[in-house]
Structure formats: structure tokens, C-alpha cells
Amino acid sequence: MEKCSGKSVQGGVAAARLRFLRPVGQQTDVPAGTPEQELARLEQALRKAAEQQNALYEQTAAEAGEEVAQVFSIHAMMLEDECFTGPIRDRVRAGESCACAVRASARELAAQFAAMEDEYMRERSADVEDIAQELLAALAGDRPAEAAQAEPFIAAAEDLTPSQTVRLDKKLLRGIVTRGGSSNSHTAILARSLGLPALVQCPGVGPDWDGRMAVLDADEGTLTPDPGPAELAAAREKAERAARQARELEQLRGLPNTTRDGRTVEVYANIGGTDELELASDQDAGGVGLFRSEFLYLHSGDYPTEEEQFAAYRAALEHFAPRRVVVRTCDIGADKTVDYMGLAKEENPALGLRAVRLCLSRPQFFKTQLRALARASAFGSLSVMFPMIISAAEVRRCKELLAECCRELKAEKVPVGPIELGVMIETPAAALCADELAEEVDFFSIGTNDLTQYTCALDRQNAALEPFSDPHHPAVLRLIEMTVQAGHRHGCWVGICGELGADLTLTETFLKMGVDEFSVNPVSILPLRGAIRRSSAR
């Protein structure tokens, strides 16, 4: 039987017809008008495409969370960026049609990104191609055909763009298969956030498979076209079994996260902003274990003001009061940058001026955030944690700046509530000096994504390194256990907020280590709660 294999990025089974999707914006060129006419068409299309990207941001934030939706904010900013639009306008002024100018300029810019050494920057070439397709579609007035399907389907493509992926009808979409892509592609991230079975790097599937019934078994990493009655029945039974398990998990809402031997832990949500508060509540989060405050900066064209930040933090605290909300201070740098900060280009940004290092090098910038957080503390249960800490001296400096802000606010007669302080453990240095750090704070939150990257010296943005990556590497697990033990020696509670927190094969291992809290993507909360209740902590 014909079958193809790929790399699973989200488990599960689906049986449905395949729809092989092609890029949008491939319309036939129309004759170019005068440069003035073409420029007017271009400006109208830029506005339309930007409006659509903003709409896709809102849709994605509601469906999958603000972190996943971030790409559309970037796309909208690209449509206003002279680096992207300037060469297009120059070509139009020289007599080219809008469509030709967009294709040629996007091709050149995408090639520049693709030639860069940094893996994250190379992957931005896909964003250029995506936004170019969206601009071409706006010029032509067409919309992708895949936006409306009549029956359940499995989406297949060379490599789905973020815009294509989000427009798929989620009520009928049963799974995703791409010939290219990686575990860190936008398609993979969205599939995980929606809980859809998905394969990437599956070269056997092609346009000639369009319309064929198929079984996608992402647990096994296979796609089987034209299954026989027995294979189809088995796949549907497996999918129904998974659906029954999901319904059983719904029964856990409101119940404590207690292991079989009587230990109770907290299960919180990771969120990227206030747009995800309802999603976290809907999934029965016990609180927020990671509020990624950097998205306030990434979604702004200039430094967010104290008032803007205060409003966001207050909204989160009031929404979950009296439950805990843990806000991570600004984690800009490395793969998350904004032009208005004027950060210098670095040869190795993952080891550069990022997170708390950036904040401590710009104390007034940092104090704006700390003042906003201190003001918000009066409206709920606030915990603040500092990222990329490698020494107790850094923690003490952060505490000094926060104390300075609190004194200023009290002098201004502004109420300030109690603030619990913590640090992220995401470098080997932090794990190895956890005893010293624990003397300065109330809690630790282990960021397993960066801890794995820095411990194993593997760039997590580099798809070529996936064969060498082992998320269960014994060195990483030992550092996690050391951190838990050190924290408990000094009275700190210890949580996990990285992707390993949602890895159910490690849940019992972490419980036996003594982990007190898990903070995960909202859609992972109920499965994790089920795993905790099936586990023993001894």
C-alpha cells in the first residue's frame, strides 16, 4: 500500500479527504497602468492587506493565543516598513505593474534572508513570501479557495504559510501535512496550539493526492492514501478513542491536581497577553504561571508607556484574582527584537544583550515596567520573575530598582500591594548557583526551552539540528532536579514553564523530583491534569 512518512509535530489520528493547497495571489498579470495609477493600486492593496493581517491576528489570538498570533502583527508592520515597500514603489515608478514589482522585490528580499547565517533570520524568508502572497491577493481581490470547504479534510501543502493556515476552517480541518517545514514552523506551532495531528517533512505527498481519502496517523508519523475498509475503521476507532479521552478530561474541571498518593500541585497557563485571559480561564487554569510581557513591546510601534503596561497587568490580575499571576519582565532580544529599541546587530544574539541584561543596561526603561507592575500589584496576587538571570548580584540589582519604584509610588500616594519575586532558571549557570539565588527570591520557574538549548549547545531555532536534539537529555533533567532541591532547601516553590512541562511522558518524573507547579499552553492544561491524577509523586 502506498504510504509516506514524515516528522510528527503533534500527535493524533485523522481520517478524511486530502486537500492539497496552493499559494494564493497567483493571478494572471493585468496590463500595467500609468505609474500613478499603479501606485494608487499599490497603496490601496497595502492598506487592505494590513487590515487582513490585523484581522488574522485577532482571530488567531482568540483561537490559539497571542504568542501564536504574533506573526500577523509582524506581517502588518512589514506592510508599513520601507525596507519592504520601498523597493516595490521604486519598481512601480520605473514602469512595472504592481504584481510584477511585488513578486520581484519579495523574491530579492526573501533571498537576502535565506542567505543569512542566523537560522531564525533565514526562516523570516517565509514571512516575506507569505506577506507577498497576501499583497498579491489584495491586488487581485481574490481569496484563498481553502477558506471554504464542504466536508472534513486534511490540509496538505508544500509548506503552509501562516495566513493560509489560520484561514482554514477549523470546524472541518482534521489534520495538517506538509512536504517541508520543521518543528518550529508557524504551521507546527499552530497545530500544537489547536491539538491537530500534524506531520512536516513528508515529501511523499503531492498535488496528485488532492481529493483522495487518507489516514493521517501522527502518532506513527505516517500518511496513508486510499485506505481499505479495515484501515479506515481502525483509524476512526483510534480517533474516537482519543475523543472519548478528551471528553473524560472535561470531567476534571474544578477538581484538584492531586496525585494517586495524595500530593497536590498547581497547574497554571502560559499566556502572551490579555487576549488570552479568557482562553486560559476556559481551559480551567489555576492561575497564570507565565505572562510574557515582551508581547506588549513586540506589538507596539514605540516603547509602551507605563499607563499602557499598567492597564494590561491590572486586567490580568483582576481577571484571575485572587489567584496568582506570574509576570515575566521584558524578555526582548535574541529572536524577539523591535526596531525602536535600536539594538545593535550581534553575532550570537542568543548569548547577547537580551532579557534582564537589556533591562539592567537601561534602568529607566526597566523602571517604567517595574512601576507599572508595582501599581498593578494592588489589584490581585502578583508575582514578578526576572528572565536570563545568571547571578545573585543581578537579582539584587533588580530588587533594588523595584524597591526604588515602590518608594516613588508610595511617595506619590499610589497604592502598592505585596509582590512575590522569582527568577527563571534557564541557563546552566542559574541551575548550578540555585542555592545562592534561592536566598534572594520566593520562587523559581524553570524555562526548559532555553535551559535545554544552553545546556546542550543546540540552537533551538535551527531545524538542521533537530536530529541531535534530545529534550529528555539526562544533563537537563539533572539540572532541573538540582534546581528543585535547592529551591526547597531555602523555602522557594519551584515550577516549570517551558515545553517540557506539557510533556506527559515526564509528568511523573517531575512530580517525583518535587516540582510544585506546572505552567503550560492553555490547551495542554486538561491533559496535564489527567496525567497528574494518574501519577505517583513518590
pLDDT in tens, the chain (538 residues): 478 899 888 888 999 999 998 765 454 455 668 888 889 999 999 988 888 888 888 777 767 666 677 788 888 888 888 888 999 999 999 988 888 999 999 888 888 877 776 555 666 777 888 888 888 888 877 554 444 567 899 999 888 888 888 888 878 899 999 998 777 677 777 787 777 899 998 988 888 899 999 999 998 899 999 998 988 888 888 888 888 888 888 888 989 999 999 999 999 999 988 878 988 898 899 999 999 998 888 777 789 999 999 999 999 999 999 999 999 999 987 667 777 888 888 878 778 888 999 999 999 999 999 999 999 999 999 999 999 999 999 999 999 999 999 999 999 999 999 999 999 999 999 999 999 999 999 999 999 989 999 999 988 767 677 778 888 999 999 999 999 999 999 999 999 998 899 999 999 999 999 999 999 988 889 999 999 999 999 8
User: Per the structure block, which three cell numbers stand in for 60?
Assistant: 488567531
Cβ neighbours of 488 (radius 10 Å): 16
- The two most distant CA atoms of the chain are separated, in Å, by 77
SS (H, E, C) 221-250: CEEEECCCHHHHHHHHHHHHHHHHHHHHHH
Instruction: Count Cβ neighbours within 10 Å for each residue of 232-264 and write b for 16 or more, e otherwise.
Output: bebbeebbeebeeeeeebeebeeeebebeeebe
User: Per the structure block, which three cell numbers stand in for 230?
Assistant: 479495515
Asked if 497 is an active-site residue, the reply is yes
Q: How open is the CA angle 500-347-107, to the nearest 5 degrees?
A: 90
The residue type of 254 is G
CA 512 – CA 31 distance, rounded (Å) = 69
Give backbone dihedrals phi and psi of 285, rounded to 5 degrees, phi first.
Answer: -65, 140
Cβ neighbours of 194 (radius 10 Å): 18
Handedness of CA 320, 323, 328, 329 (dihedral sign): positive
Q: What is the CA radius of gyration of the chain?
A: 24
Asked if 490 is an active-site residue, the reply is no
Residue ranges of domains in the chain, CATH in brackets: 4-23+145-235 (3.50.30.10), 35-140 (1.10.274.10), 267-534 (3.20.20.60)
Distances from the Cα of 515 to the Cα of 209, 419, 496, angstroms: 47, 22, 7
Distances from the Cα of 161 to the Cα of 131, 452, 516, 517, angstroms: 9, 28, 39, 35
**Neighbouring residues of 214: CB distance < 8 A, sequence distance ≥ 6:** 15, 16, 17, 18, 154, 223, 224, 225, 226, 227
Q: What is the pLDDT of residue 144?
A: 46
Evaluate if pTM is beyond 0.75.
no
Distances from the Cα of 301 to the Cα of 73, 297, 341, 367, 524, angstroms: 10, 8, 10, 20, 32
Of residues 147, 135, 142, the one with CA closest to residue 76:
135
User: Per the structure block, which three cell numbers stand in for 494?
Assistant: 519551584
Do 529 and 267 meet the contact criterion of CB atoms below 8 Å apart? Answer: yes
Q: Given the C-alpha cell 534602568, which residue does it identify?
A: 363
For residue 428, cis peptide bond before it (omega within 30 degrees of 0): no
Give backbone dihedrals phi and psi of 19, rounded to 5 degrees, phi first.
Answer: -125, 110
**Neighbouring residues of 49: CB distance < 8 A, sequence distance ≥ 6:** 79, 131, 134, 135, 137, 138
Q: What is the dihedral of CA 14, 15, 17, 22, to 10 degrees?
A: 20
Instruction: Count Cβ neighbours within 10 Å for each residue of 401-410 and write b for 16 or more, e otherwise.
Output: bbeebbeebe
Q: What does DSSP say about strands 419-425 and 443-446: parallel, antiparallel, or unpaired?
A: parallel
Q: What is the pLDDT of residue 67?
A: 67
DSSP E strands: which ranges in 234-294? 266-271, 288-292
First to last CA, the chain: 47
Q: Which member of 98, 186, 359, 398 is catalytic?
A: 186
Q: What is the pLDDT of residue 223?
A: 93
User: Per the structure block, which three cell numbers stand in for 475?
Assistant: 544533563
